[in-house]
Amino acid sequence: MISERDISEKFSAIWKQHFPLLTPNFIRVFNEAQVYPINSKQVITLEDVRYDLVSEVAFNLSDLAYLTKSQPSAAIADEKEQKRIIAETAKSIWKSDNYFESNLSISNIEKQEVISIAENTLEFIEKMGGQDVLFKPKLKGYSFIPDLIADLSISDTLFELKTVNRNFKSSDLKQLFIYIALRQVSEKENWRYAGLYNPRKGTYCKFNIKSLIFNLTGGKTPNEAFENLLNGLNRDVEIDSRF
C-alpha cells in the first residue's frame, strides 16, 4: 500500500498528464491571489519545537475541544487527558521503535503552540459556518490506495490542514484531489468545494471543485479527471510491479 503523501509527491508524469496546468507558476499565482488571512493571530515561532508532534496534537485537541464544546486550554489542562492525546498522536505519526516514553511529554512552549493552533482551528471552523463539521472523514480505498482519512469536512467543503511555516504547494492540492477522487468512486455525493487551511499562518483558500478541475485539466469534469487519475495511477503501479 502507498500513502496519499507519496502519491501527491511522486508519480509526476501521471499528474502532469491529467492536470497539465497545475504548474509552479499556477501555484505561485494561486498563493498570491486566492489565499486569504482568516485568523486574528498567527502562531509562528523560531523555538526548537517538534513540529510534527505539535501539529498533530493540536489537530487532535481541536477535535476533542469541538466535540466537548470546551476551550483547548481547558481540554488539555487535565494531565491524564494530555498524556492520552500525546500518546495516541505519537503512535499515529511515529513508529513504535523510534521513540521512548520520555518523548511523550511536551515543553511549555510546545504546549502553548498546541493550544494556540487549536484555538485558531476552532476559530476557523466558526468563521466557515460551523455546520455539519466532521473531523477525520473516512474514505474507502481504491485498488492499491488504502482506506484513507482526510482532515476536516465542513458542510459541503473538504479542507486539508497544513500546519507549516510555508506557502501552499502543488502537493497539498494533489492530496486534496486524492481524497475527492476516492469519495467520488465510493459514494453518490461528493464535496462541492474544497480548500487548504494553515492554522499556523492563519490563512486559507476555498475553491469550487468543478471550476478548478476545469481550469487545471483544460476542460474536463471532475468525474472525468478523477477517474482518469485513479486509472492512470493504477496502471503505473501495475507496470512498475511487473518489473
Residue 118 and residue 120: Cα distance in Å, rounded?
Answer: 5
User: 49-76 as b/e, with b when 16 or more CB fall inside 10 Å?
Assistant: bbeebbbbbbbbbbbbbbeeeeebbebb
Question: What is the pLDDT, as a whole number, of residue 18?
Answer: 96
Taking Cα atoms as reference points, which of 86, 95, 44, 94 lies closest to residue 61?
Answer: 86
Residue 42 and residue 201: Cα distance in Å, rounded?
Answer: 5
Average pLDDT over the chain, rounded to whole?
A: 92
Residue 58 and residue 69: Cα distance in Å, rounded?
Answer: 16
Q: What is the pTM of this model?
A: 0.93
pLDDT at 243 over 80: no
Instruction: Delimit the domains of the chain by residue range.
Output: 4-38+133-242, 51-127
* pLDDT tier for residue 1 given thresholds of 50, 70 and 90: low
Residue 122 and residue 118: Cα distance in Å, rounded?
Answer: 6
Q: Which of 44-48, 162-166, 230-234 has the lowest mean pLDDT?
A: 44-48
Residue 82 and residue 61: Cα distance in Å, rounded?
Answer: 9
**114 torsion bin: left (phi>0), alpha (psi -120 to 50), beta (else):** alpha
pLDDT at 241 over 50: no
Per-residue model confidence as pLDDT tens digits over 74-132:
999 988 889 999 999 988 888 766 777 778 888 999 999 999 999 999 999 999 999 99
Total Cβ atoms within 10 A of residue 199: 28
Per-residue model confidence as pLDDT tens digits over 16-50:
999 999 999 999 999 999 999 999 999 988 778 89
